[in-house]
Chain A
């Protein structure tokens, strides 16, 4: 029996940092004994598992205690908690998962995992109204005490979480972020503020050790954890080949209910979601749809209110006349038969109140 010179968790962290590791190999390692034991057997060059290539054993045989010390120091330094399936902090939802990550690196408060959880995913190149919907849905779910699971990617992901964080109070549920890099490597970099807010208010989780960079192949892996953590997965906008579709596939494998937000036909951003609806997914047009799918009382949603400034009658009429979908000012002038200067005035007022958004000259009404 090998003795532990370092805390137990550092051995788990070190095993999760081995080169050429897959989640399956890590699970096998963690199942073949205590982390301390496994670590020493690997260091001793023992090849104790079948089905692992010589090249992998050679790579593992070349590691030494420096890896363990480095990764432990880094975890302590960055405030990262290492949990394995035996720890109480490990999310119960992942325990039965066939592809569960054997070791998780957490930052923040792991008790959030015990809340009801809904995943919100979607495209990175979302429309303004899609972003607005994700934001509102995030805020409403959080107000209803449901934790929003998302990936902190650009577009829908980050909007849903900033919605959660915008109206957070004691009755609300904090967010759960699952990222595809180490829990201290902010990706994309412009999200560093919301990244830190999520850590401060909720929990940020990754199966990768601190210092690991986001690489393309890691995003589908991350998506399986989002699917595994969610009770219901809501797709807000996605192209038919988008990364969100991989989350949908993972969710379907796990029998997690997938719901989709209907979009205007012909928009690239709604191709994927409209396909899902055609294939029989339940539509989401309001937070109640999600709450019902969770068997929750829809009155919970009343904790949230639209804090935007109310519209005057003519503004509301104009907003209605704008219709859904992005429009240029020329189109608006044809559709609403107002003069350009009137349209500019309406749009200016509505934009200041947060009811319309402008992306590259296209105006969209933000009506949830």
Chain B
């Protein structure tokens, strides 16, 4: 009459175990799902009924109540189909309750009785990894990413019933071992010329400094950003696992491979607020920020993004997490990404003062599309120019990514050993200890502050970038003036014509 079956539901990037209770009793034949189910879950009645009939199982002509036990949160998803079906089998006495103890069921049912994968298989399985987890055979590679030791892939509901009735053994399906792979990433050596921009990318990678690339079309902004993941250190196991979970939760096609190279996301500028930070009606899908976590988020043509979407980036970038609160619960998702944005310097996009026809007012208006606080988040603001013909056609190849990545890795190790975080995350209080300045370096910054060419925030950011530059050049002591000057030349003045220069 009563059954309790374990399954899991998805909330943002995390699965949560859930107990599906089934009760079959006397009364007018009916089927009710209680416990704040969502739409997908209510529809499961029809799928489960069709699947059971297709599998030659009896549909109880009694009063059936399904309860999704747990706290008062709305939950559901098609992944509960199988648990509901198994619950009915137990409640109608086809299978005994003892058999389903210690097991979890995560799959959607097809009308023909087959088991199907549902989106977010990896986090769903990870939530119940301590149990025997029954999943669709077609979802086995994605489910294997969760590293559950007892994964039971099954093809159909009928097959599962036979196994649970102890009439057959578990079908033999190969469970692949999750493979850590390295993605092919384009190499920095392809970038001709652009010494300044290359250096900026190296600094961005080494100190995790957000970078704004300003340059005319054809200057190679996207090309540089695309190569940035190749400069970052490889992901740790934990990070790679987190990245895979987020991708699976977002419903991206998954194989039994875990990428150890940092993710790279370049959403189109029409991306919505939900698409960027995450959300949505049912289980709060992760957004681009979370998908790019531990990697690079590239915003090409930043001026074309909706201002509200850009401003929504501010808090997550500062704290490294996105906190979403909805009526049916609140979640935290990782958002530790390296932001690289690209924009034209002025409406005409030519940039060279020799040919640019934009008035100062037009330029200022163009820059005013970006809110000041957002512009402040960028430690590096680099102006790019188109490479000359000589640079483009020359045979001079730049340094390759691997060489740069070695230096970057060394700086990461150094900075974690010194202050326990990357250089861009040094708090302003800790700057005195971690990034002391030599006297002449301090004087340069003082005079810039006095002249109003540097804001208080800019002052701290310059010190962090200078720290990274000195680290890259193996100068761990107090920072010399040259690094401060180089850092200053990588922070372009942005005159928006309003208030102080950013």
Q: Give me the interface of A with B, judged by CB distance under 8 Å.
A: 124-125, 127, 154, 264, 266-269, 325-326, 328-331, 333-334, 340-342, 344-345, 347-348, 352, 358-362
CB distance from A134 to the nearest CB of B (A): 16
State the CA gap A136–B313 with chains docked (Å). 46
- The stretch that binds A, out of B158-166, B284-292, B327-335, B348-356, is B348-356
- The stretch that binds A, out of B33-41, B193-201, B419-427, is B193-201
Asked if residues B444 and A352 are in contact (CB atoms below 8 Å), the reply is yes
CB distance from A366 to the nearest CB of B (A): 14
- The stretch that binds A, out of B88-96, B111-119, B401-409, B484-492, is B484-492
Which of B359, B383, B469, B489 is A360 in contact with, Cβ under 8 Å?
B383
State the CA gap A266–B352 with chains docked (Å). 12
Contacts A348-B489, A360-B214 known; 8 new A-B pairs at CB < 8 A: A125-B358, A328-B196, A334-B391, A341-B485, A345-B485, A348-B488, A352-B447, A360-B383
State the CA gap A78–B268 with chains docked (Å). 55
Task: Write out the residue numbers on chain A whose beta carbons fall within 8 Å of the beta carbon of B486.
Answer: 340-341, 344-345
Residue of A nearest to B447 (CB): A352
Asked if residues B482 and A345 are in contact (CB atoms below 8 Å), the reply is yes
Task: Write out the residue numbers on chain A whose beta carbons fall within 8 Å of the beta carbon of B214.
Answer: 360-361
Task: Write out the residue numbers on chain B whose beta carbons fall within 8 Å of the beta carbon of A127.
Answer: 353
State the CA gap A325–B354 with chains docked (Å). 9
CB distance from B361 to the nearest CB of A (A): 9
Asked if residues B385 and A330 are in contact (CB atoms below 8 Å), the reply is yes
Asked if residues A330 and B357 are in contact (CB atoms below 8 Å), the reply is no
Task: Write out the residue numbers on chain A whose beta carbons fall within 8 Å of the beta carbon of B359.
Answer: 124-125
Asked if residues B355 and A268 are in contact (CB atoms below 8 Å), the reply is yes
Which of B195, B351, B488 is A333 in contact with, Cβ under 8 Å?
B195
Selected A-B contacts with CB under 8 Å, 25 pairs: A124-B359, A125-B360, A268-B356, A268-B357, A269-B353, A328-B383, A328-B385, A329-B195, A330-B195, A331-B385, A331-B388, A333-B195, A334-B390, A340-B196, A344-B482, A344-B489, A345-B485, A348-B488, A358-B493, A359-B353, A360-B346, A360-B353, A360-B363, A362-B352, A362-B353
Asked if residues B481 and A345 are in contact (CB atoms below 8 Å), the reply is yes
Task: Write out the residue numbers on chain A whose beta carbons fall within 8 Å of the beta carbon of B229.
Answer: none
Task: Write out the residue numbers on chain B whose beta carbons fall within 8 Å of the beta carbon of A269.
Answer: 353
Task: Write out the residue numbers on chain B whose beta carbons fall within 8 Å of the beta carbon of A267.
Answer: 353-354
Q: Looking at chain B, what size class is its interface with the partner chain?
A: 35 or more
3 pairs of A and B residues whose beta carbons are closest in the complex: A361-B383, A348-B485, A344-B486
CB distance from A118 to the nearest CB of B (A): 26
Taking CB atoms and an 8 Å cut-off, the chain B residues in 189-216 that contact chain A are 193-196, 199, 214
Residue of A nearest to B493 (CB): A358
Q: Decide: A330 near B482, CB < 8 A? Known: A127-B353, A325-B354, A361-B214.
A: no
Residue of B nearest to A188 (CB): B361
CB distance from B470 to the nearest CB of A (A): 11
Task: Write out the residue numbers on chain A whose beta carbons fall within 8 Å of the beta carbon of B485.
Answer: 341, 344-345, 347-348
Task: Write out the residue numbers on chain B whose beta carbons fall within 8 Å of the beta carbon of A352.
Answer: 444, 447
Which of B195, B199, B352, B492 is A326 in contact with, Cβ under 8 Å?
B352
Q: Decide: A344 near B488, CB < 8 A? Known: A127-B353, A268-B354, A330-B196.
A: yes
State the CA gap A329–B346 with chains docked (Å). 19
CB distance from A201 to the nearest CB of B (A): 24
State the CA gap A360–B354 with chains docked (Å). 12
Say if the beta carbon of B345 comes within 8 Å of chain A: yes
CB distance from B214 to the nearest CB of A (A): 7
Asked if residues B354 and A266 are in contact (CB atoms below 8 Å), the reply is yes
Residue of B nearest to A362 (CB): B353
State the CA gap A361–B358 with chains docked (Å). 15
Task: Write out the residue numbers on chain B whose beta carbons fall within 8 Å of the beta carbon of A358.
Answer: 493
CB distance from A157 to the nearest CB of B (A): 13
Task: Write out the residue numbers on chain A whose beta carbons fall within 8 Å of the beta carbon of B355.
Answer: 268
Asked if residues B360 and A124 are in contact (CB atoms below 8 Å), the reply is yes
CB distance from A67 to the nearest CB of B (A): 34
Q: Decide: A330 near B193, CB < 8 A? Known: A125-B359, A341-B482, A344-B486.
A: yes
Task: Write out the residue numbers on chain A whose beta carbons fall within 8 Å of the beta carbon of B447.
Answer: 352
State the CA gap A360–B465 with chains docked (Å). 20
Task: Write out the residue numbers on chain A whose beta carbons fall within 8 Å of the beta carbon of B345.
Answer: 360-361
State the CA gap A12–B363 with chains docked (Å). 43
State the CA gap A362–B444 with chains docked (Å). 21
CB distance from B359 to the nearest CB of A (A): 6
CB distance from A47 to the nearest CB of B (A): 44
Asked if residues B360 and A154 are in contact (CB atoms below 8 Å), the reply is yes
Question: Contact mask B342-377 → A, CB, 8 Å, 1/0?
Answer: 000110000111111111100100000000000000
Question: Contact mask B471-502 → A, CB, 8 Å, 1/0?
Answer: 00000000001110110110011000000000
Question: Contact mask B444-486 → A, CB, 8 Å, 1/0?
Answer: 1001000000000000000000000100000000000111011
State the CA gap A344–B200 with chains docked (Å). 13
State the CA gap A341–B469 with chains docked (Å). 10
Asked if residues A329 and B354 are in contact (CB atoms below 8 Å), the reply is no
State the CA gap A69–B19 with chains docked (Å). 88
Task: Write out the residue numbers on chain B whose beta carbons fall within 8 Å of the beta carbon of A325.
Answer: 354
CB distance from A171 to the nearest CB of B (A): 29
Most chain A beta-carbon neighbours within 10 Å: one of B214, B346, B360, B488: B360
Which of B196, B351, B363 is A329 in contact with, Cβ under 8 Å?
B196
Task: Write out the residue numbers on chain B whose beta carbons fall within 8 Å of the beta carbon of A330.
Answer: 193-196, 385, 387
CB distance from B213 to the nearest CB of A (A): 11
Most chain B beta-carbon neighbours within 10 Å: one of A331, A348, A360: A360
State the CA gap A365–B444 with chains docked (Å). 20
Residue of A nearest to B214 (CB): A361
State the CA gap A152–B352 with chains docked (Å). 26
Task: Write out the residue numbers on chain B whose beta carbons fall within 8 Å of the beta carbon of A342.
Answer: 482
Residue of B nearest to A155 (CB): B360
State the CA gap A342–B356 with chains docked (Å). 29
Most chain B beta-carbon neighbours within 10 Å: one of A325, A330, A358: A330
State the CA gap A280–B163 with chains docked (Å). 102
Question: Contact mask B171-202 → A, CB, 8 Å, 1/0?
Answer: 00000000000000000000001111001000
Task: Write out the residue numbers on chain A whose beta carbons fall within 8 Å of the beta carbon of B391.
Answer: 334
Task: Write out the residue numbers on chain B whose beta carbons fall within 8 Å of the beta carbon of A331.
Answer: 385, 388
State the CA gap A271–B363 with chains docked (Å). 22
State the CA gap A127–B363 with chains docked (Å). 15
Q: Decide: A360 near B492, CB < 8 A? Known: A266-B354, A348-B485, A352-B444.
A: yes
Task: Write out the residue numbers on chain B whose beta carbons fall within 8 Å of the beta carbon of A344.
Answer: 482, 485-486, 488-489
State the CA gap A325–B387 with chains docked (Å). 17
State the CA gap A358–B492 with chains docked (Å). 9
CB distance from A87 to the nearest CB of B (A): 38
Residue of A nearest to B495 (CB): A360
CB distance from B195 to the nearest CB of A (A): 5
